[in-house]
């Protein structure tokens, strides 16, 4: 099976520091990682819960995709990320099934991952990220 598990849930937030504080209290643990992904215009904060993670996403500027998402839809669930063992092969499989990807090729993402997103137009409005651990 190409999809291994739910890797993380991405949540778009306007105030990353406040959201980190809230989730730290809610989950009873500290974030294990903060990271900027300049190319995507985003700063991320990760919490680990068992095998799954929660990624809080804050825009670095008003033009970032996350900032535009918040302006359009408000704070909340941004994407679901699925862990795959071979991102390029999974992209080929899903393209044959009619799914449209945002990028032609995988890109470097946060948390040591190669990533690509399936366009919400081909998933009933849900942004789906595929992730592969960089080797």
pLDDT in the model for residue 115:
96
Q: Where are the domains of the chain?
A: 3-133
* Bridging pattern class, strands 52-59 and 42-49: antiparallel
- List, in order, residues 6 or more apart from 38 with CB less than 8 Å away: 60
Q: For the domain made up of 3-133, give the CATH fold.
A: 2,3-Dihydroxybiphenyl 1,2-Dioxygenase; domain 1 (3.10.180)
Task: Tell me the pLDDT tens digit for each residue of 11-54.
Answer: 999 999 999 999 999 999 999 999 999 988 999 999 999 999 99
Percent of residues, the chain, with pLDDT higher than 90: 94
pLDDT in the model for residue 125:
92
pLDDT in the model for residue 135:
84
pLDDT-derived band at 1 (thresholds 50, 70, 90) equals low
DSSP letters spanning 12-64 = E-S-HHHHHHHHHHHHTS--SEEEEEGGGTEEEEEEEETTEEEEEEEESSTTS
Closest CA to 123 of 101, 96, 93, 90: 101
Task: Tell me the pLDDT tens digit for each residue of 68-125.
Answer: 999 999 999 999 999 999 999 999 999 999 999 999 999 999 999 999 999 999 999 9
pLDDT in the model for residue 102:
96
């Amino acid at each position: 099976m190409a999809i291994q598990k739910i890797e993380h849930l991405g949540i778009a937030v306007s105030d990353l520091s406040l959201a980190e504080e809230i989730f730290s209290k809610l989950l009873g643990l500290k974030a294990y990682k903060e990271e900027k992904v300049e190319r995507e215009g985003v700063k991320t904060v990760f919490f680990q819960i068992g095998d799954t993670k929660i990624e809080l996403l804050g825009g670095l500027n008003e033009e970032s995709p996350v900032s535009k998402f918040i302006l359009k839809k408000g704070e909340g669930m941004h994407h679901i990320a699925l862990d795959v063992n071979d991102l390029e092969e999974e992209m080929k499989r899903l393209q044959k099934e009619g799914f449209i990807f945002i990028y032609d090729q995988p890109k470097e993402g946060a948390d040591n991952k190669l990533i690509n997103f399936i366009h919400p137009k081909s998933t009933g409005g849900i942004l789906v990220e595929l992730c592969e651990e960089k080797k």
